[in-house]
Amino acid sequence: MSRIFIICGMIAVAAACSRGERPTHTTAEGTATAAKATLIRLYSVAKKGYVMSEVVVRSDAQWKEQLTPEQYHVTREKGTEAPFTGENWNNHQRGVYVCVCCGNDLFSWEQKYESGTGWPSFWQPVAPENVSTREDNSFFSRRTEVICSRCGAHLGHVFPDGPKPTGLRYCMNSAALRFVGE
């Protein structure tokens, strides 16, 4: 009889050990928690200061589900919309232009100007950290591509022929921006 108790006890202990050894992130919820989020420092217009934000990484399938075909083509395939066709080139309202993919604050109405190109143009982003640049040598030209620092969305290009005080022209695609009025 006592031998049966001992065997049962060993089984119970083995089961407990087995449970104890199980990693805490085996559930779907736990895995999400355990995966360390990459944080970057971005400027928030609403908070009037810098905040730590999670970078946004999604699959092509997820982006296609979230975006319209034109938004997807511009932001994820480096497309360019036709000039004078987008929603934002002729918008003169007060507000902030955020990334259509991830909502990152990109440009303010205060730095928008009439470039005459048919694309929304700005002489400065809301903060240098919120956009990133990289060389783009496609189409036999040397241009500087502008991307969202949070999700890597292609936004447009920046050229050295803008107005004062920066002398820069951030030539953006309307399809990459979502306007949030004040």
Q: In this structure, are residues 93 and 177 in contact, taking their beta carbons and an 8 Å threshold? A: no
Interface with Fe ion (CB under 5 A), residue from 42, 74, 96, 99: 99
Buried-exposed string 154-182: b where 16+ CB fall within 10 A, e elsewhere: bbbbbbeebeeeeebbbbbbbbbbbbeee
Nearest approach, Cβ of 151 to Fe ion (angstroms)? 3
Nearest approach, Cβ of 173 to Fe ion (angstroms)? 13
Q: Tell me whether residue 104 or residue 121 sits nearer to Fe ion (CB atom).
A: 104
If one asks whether residue 148 binds Fe ion (CB under 5 A), the answer comes out as: yes
Interface with Fe ion (CB under 5 A), residue from 96, 151, 158, 176: 151
Strand order in the sheet with 105-108: 105-108, 95-99, 177-181
Nearest approach, Cβ of 50 to Fe ion (angstroms)? 17
Report the distance separating Cα 89 and Cα 173, nearest Å. 8
Q: Tell me whether residue 153 or residue 171 sits nearer to Fe ion (CB atom).
A: 153
The CA–CA distances, whole Å, from 90 to 23, 40, 115, 174 equal 55, 32, 10, 10
> 102 catalytic, yes or no?
no
Interface with Fe ion (CB under 5 A), residue from 76, 88, 127, 150: 150
Per-residue x/- track, 158-177, Fe ion (CB under 5 A): --------------------
Q: Give me the residue label for tokens 């087995």.
A: 18
Q: In this structure, are residues 181 and 93 in contact, taking their beta carbons and an 8 Å threshold? A: yes
Where in the sequence numbering do the catalytic residues fall?
A: 171
Which residues of this protein are in contact with Fe ion, per CB under 5 A?
Answer: 99, 101-102, 104, 148, 150-151, 153
